[in-house]
């Protein structure tokens, strides 16, 4: 096992856009500053959403932008054994139950009402949920400061294996970050409210909890998060240096005159010296496309 790494974990649902470049660049620069390895993990468990060719295009784009990763590319689809082992361990702790509630039944519930908590035997076509409790989950986010969340009030018992059989994002992420000695998770701010659930799982699985930093969410002029759904354009690999320069200001990086002529590698070398998570403002930021 490689000790101490940062990571970028894209879902291969389409090509990277400026929002994903912000996350990739920030986690890369943070890892370089901290003297850590930087891993790329493809979050490809949700196979119906995997777009053909997306993984290749993501890796090509990272490479073109000088964002070179360490070691082999990781793939969640190759980690099913570790997720199953985690489920076995949570079950041994009597934390799991089978849930047959439909989306419609739960539509109005912000917090899972505990309807199926008594179901300890597998039934066909059910999700698996983990029980949560009243103990606050506390962590310090390097951009958003001290956080505290009581899961029984914010979300309630949550899904760790989906009804369709796929391992849920929370479990897969917690198990991978914890098992691969990922010590720094720098990612999009829209994932901040998933963090307490992931820490809860890591605590119960005896895994090391990373340090977290959640970046500003880039929104378009209508206030919508840049994403495939809002038609954020794919990055053009031929404009790699310009793309990096476009996201740098959102990372508190303001390159001096002259750097416009630099290569992506030169920009990242400069950024790795200057980068300071403490200079990144929390909240969302409008990105002019
Ligand atoms: N795969 C997730 C995404 O692309 C990110 C996972 C993470 O960074 O925790 O949104």
238 or 260, higher pLDDT: 238
Q: Into how many domains does the chain fold?
A: 1
**Kind and range of the H or E element at 161?**
strand 158-161
Average pLDDT of 230-241? 92
CA distance 227 to 148: 28
For residue 193 the two structure tokens come to 């409210």
Q: How high is the mean pLDDT of the chain?
A: 94
- For ligand 1, atom 7: residue with the closest CA: 9
Quickly state the pLDDT bin for 111 (edges 50, 70, 90). very high
pLDDT the model gives residue 3: 64
Q: State the burial class of residue 225 (Cβ atoms within 10 Å of its Cβ: 0-12, 13-18, 19+).
A: middle
Quickly state the pLDDT bin for 190 (edges 50, 70, 90). very high
For residue 6 the two structure tokens come to 């940062």
Cα 90 to middle of ligand 1, angstroms: 23
- Ligand 1 probe mutation, 5, 10, 77, most atoms within 8 A of CB: 10
Cα 10 to middle of ligand 1, angstroms: 5
Whether 191 lines ligand 1, by a CB cut-off of 6 Å, is: yes
Whether 20 lines ligand 1, by a CB cut-off of 6 Å, is: no
Residue that is written with structure tokens 């929002």 in the block: 19
Whether 67 lines ligand 1, by a CB cut-off of 6 Å, is: no
Angle at alpha carbon of residue 134, lines to 199 and 177, rounded to 5°:
5
Whether 264 lines ligand 1, by a CB cut-off of 6 Å, is: no
For residue 182 the two structure tokens come to 């990922």
Quickly state the pLDDT bin for 108 (edges 50, 70, 90). confident
- Domain span holding position 212: 5-286
The dihedral region occupied by 60, where left means phi > 0, alpha psi between -120 and 50, and beta the remainder, is: alpha
Distance of CA 209 to the CA centre of its chain: 14
Atom of ligand 1 nearest to the CA of 198: 9
CATH of the domain at 273: 3.40.50.620
Side-chain-side CA neighbours of 75 within 13 Å: the count stands at: 11
Contact 143, 23 (CB under 8 A): no
Contact 189, 10 (CB under 8 A): no
In 3D space, the residue among 67, 30, 14, 41 whose CA is nearest the CA of residue 243 turns out to be 67
pLDDT the model gives residue 180: 92
CA distance 117 to 130: 9
For residue 206 the two structure tokens come to 């005896």
Whether 11 lines ligand 1, by a CB cut-off of 6 Å, is: yes
pTM of the model: 0.95
Cα 282 to middle of ligand 1, angstroms: 18
Average pLDDT of 240-268? 93
Contact 96, 87 (CB under 8 A): yes
Give per-residue pLDDT as tens, 48-93: 999 999 999 999 999 999 999 999 999 999 999 999 999 999 999 9
């Amino acid at each position: 096992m490689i000790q101490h790494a940062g990571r970028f974990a894209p879902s291969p649902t389409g090509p990277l856009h400026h929002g994903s470049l912000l996350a990739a660049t920030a986690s890369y620069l943070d890892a370089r500053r901290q003297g850590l390895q930087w891993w790329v993990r493809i979050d490809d468990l949700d196979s119906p959403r995997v777009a053909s060719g997306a993984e290749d295009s993501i890796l090509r784009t990272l490479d073109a932008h000088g964002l070179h990763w360490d070691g082999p590319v990781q793939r969640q689809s190759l980690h099913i054994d570790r997720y199953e082992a985690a489920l076995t361990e949570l079950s041994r702790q009597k934390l799991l139950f089978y849930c047959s509630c439909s989306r419609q039944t739960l539509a109005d519930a912000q917090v899972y009402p505990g309807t199926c908590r008594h179901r300890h035997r597998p039934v066909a076509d059910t999700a698996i949920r983990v029980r949560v409790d009243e103990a606050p989950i506390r962590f310090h986010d390097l951009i958003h400061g001290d956080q505290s969340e009581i899961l029984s009030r914010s979300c309630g018992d949550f899904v760790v294996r989906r009804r369709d059989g796929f391992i849920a994002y929370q479990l897969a992420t917690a198990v991978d970050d914890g098992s691969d000695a990922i010590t720094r998770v720098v990612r999009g701010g829209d994932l901040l409210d998933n963090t307490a659930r992931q820490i809860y799982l890591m605590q119960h699985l005896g895994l090391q909890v990373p340090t977290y930093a959640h970046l500003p969410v880039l929104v378009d002029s209508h206030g919508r998060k840049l994403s495939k759904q809002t038609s954020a354009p794919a990055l053009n690999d031929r404009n790699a240096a310009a793309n990096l320069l476009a996201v740098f200001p959102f990372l508190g990086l303001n390159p001096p005159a002259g750097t416009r002529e630099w290569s992506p590698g030169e920009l990242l070398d400069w950024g790795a010296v200057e980068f300071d998570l403490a200079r990144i403002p929390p909240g969302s930021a409008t990105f002019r496309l």
